[in-house]
Amino acid sequence: MQKWLKTIPWTHFITIEPTPSLPFKQDEIIQRMRTMEYQLNKKYLKSSFPKWDADNRFWMVGFREGDGFGHQIHYHILLHTPSVLHKKIQFENVGADIQMGWIMMPSQNPYSGKMRKFCLDGKRPLDVQKVENVIATSIYCSKWMNRIDAGEDWFFTTPSNMNPTRVAA
């Protein structure tokens, strides 16, 4: 898996910070990132993007890290941005779009049913950075994959009808 990850021109590295008092469930992370992936494709690409190859559209792969005991559970996401963006946007900032999309998307506490509030203490729930070294970033994000039972700790956010594994072929 890491050999394949190193071949993708990732553009952004996203860390979803740990929230020990109320951790996010992996299903919620996947759904939130899937929504943001769709919004990025819609904002920057032509409306026919659902029919395009993975190389020509935004897509993400994510990894869960931590065991919840000695190491807090958090997530690392790698974002692939297409080399050609088709819509001219005055302020093109994919990282800011991800931050704002995350904050604006409602999130319900699965235990109390109350809505979560983001950025109340000035700390951002996401850390979004541009990738400077694809190999190092790919290895860092997927480093927990070598652990026992880590098979379910990675995921694609792209809906299954796109099948981003075609990129590996």
| CATH number of 79's domain | 3.30.70.1910
Residue 94 has pLDDT above 70, yes or no: yes
Q: State how many domains the chain has.
A: 1
Host domain of residue 71: 2-168
The band of 54, judged by pLDDT with boundaries at 50, 70 and 90, is confident
pLDDT tens for each residue of 58-68? 999 998 888 77
- Using DSSP's 3-state secondary structure scheme, residue 4 falls into helix
- Using DSSP's 3-state secondary structure scheme, residue 108 falls into strand
pLDDT at 65: 87
pLDDT at 121: 53
Instruction: Round to whole Å and give the CA distance between 123 and 140.
Output: 23
Query: Rg for the chain (alpha carbons), in Å?
Result: 16
DSSP H or E run through 14? strand 10-16
- Using DSSP's 3-state secondary structure scheme, residue 8 falls into coil
Report the DSSP beta bridge partners of residue 5: none
Least confident of 1-15, 23-37, 123-137, 138-152: 138-152
pLDDT at 139: 84
Contacts of 86 (CB under 8 A, 6+ apart): 44, 45, 46
DSSP 31-84: HHHHHHHHHHHHHHS-TTGGGS-GGGS-EEEEEEE--SSSS--EEEEEEE--S-
Residue 119 has pLDDT above 70, yes or no: no
Least confident of 17-21, 49-53, 107-111, 116-120: 116-120
pLDDT tens for each residue of 132-156? 999 888 888 888 766 545 456 777 7
